[in-house]
Amino acid sequence: MIMPLSTETKSTQIASKLEELILNKTYVAGEPLPSQQELALQFSASSRSVREAFKHLEAKGLVQISQGKRAVVKSNNLDQFVESLSASLISNHTSDKKLLLDLMQVRTTVEVSATRELSRSGQRNLLVRAIDHLTTKMEQLLPRLQAGDQEALLQWNSLDFEFHKTLIDSNENVILTAIYENLSPLLYASMEQITNTFVELEKSTREHRYMVEALENGQTDLAVALTLVHLSAIRGKLESKMT
């Protein structure tokens, strides 16, 4: 069966399809891929395109290529590739401020995308229940926060982290999400230095509740808008701290 291909280069299309099959464990680590000849026939492509596709996959740490042998699946995830890419991003940035603001933009992109796609997710109800539960716990901490309880503040920050992590983890862009997760400790370490008043914590808790209600009611555009407003406020505080 010849697989239909798009307008991308043949090697890129083949690499993308094989990557998908490796990541969903159709081919597991240690298992050989079909031969170059078989793949060339399957994709109606040249052997050269297949070889180039293998090089793409090898660069991502997904396959191992040995001369005269079939390519073998090396890993069923992109962890090594993402860690290497994340390290490169850090080492190539001369400005910590720029790196953090760029990372905040990645967070916004991932979280807004996840919020938009959540309405179509098969796990929508489960995910909404999860963030609803986290928001309820945040609301229950408000009296203690108003009294200046530092332990309550630590708990609130942890719940806030889990709320946004739940949204981010629901995003279907595996690579973008993985890059964010590898770099996020830098962002959160910086954000921990931001001081929030009780009024700001109360406002942020309300924003979380509004997001939950919008998602519960299927108001996707409203949920996206609320997410953007909330994250824009965080970015603003981050920028102010770094000036």
Q: Which DSSP string corresponds to 27-59?
A: S-TTPBPPPHHHHHHHTT--HHHHHHHHHHHHH
Question: Is the predicted pLDDT of residue 2 greater than 90, yes or no?
Answer: no
Its pTM stands at 0.62
CATH of domain 10-73: 1.10.10.10
User: Rounded to 5, what percent of the chain is helix, strand, coil?
Assistant: 70, 0, 25
What CATH superfamily is the domain 79-242? Answer: GntR ligand-binding domain-like (1.20.120.530)
Could you give the CA distance from residue 176 to residue 197 in angstroms, rounded to a whole number?
32
How far is the C-alpha of 121 from the C-alpha of 162, rounded, in Å? 19
Return the half-sphere exposure (C-beta side, CA atoms, 13 A cut-off) of residue 90. Answer: 14
Per-residue pLDDT tens over the stretch 88-133: 555 555 456 777 787 788 788 888 888 988 877 778 889 999 999 9
Give CA–CA dist 42/29, Å, rounded: 22
Could you report the per-residue pLDDT of 179-189, keeping only the tens digit for each? Answer: 667 667 767 77
Domains of the chain, by residue range, sit at 10-73, 79-242
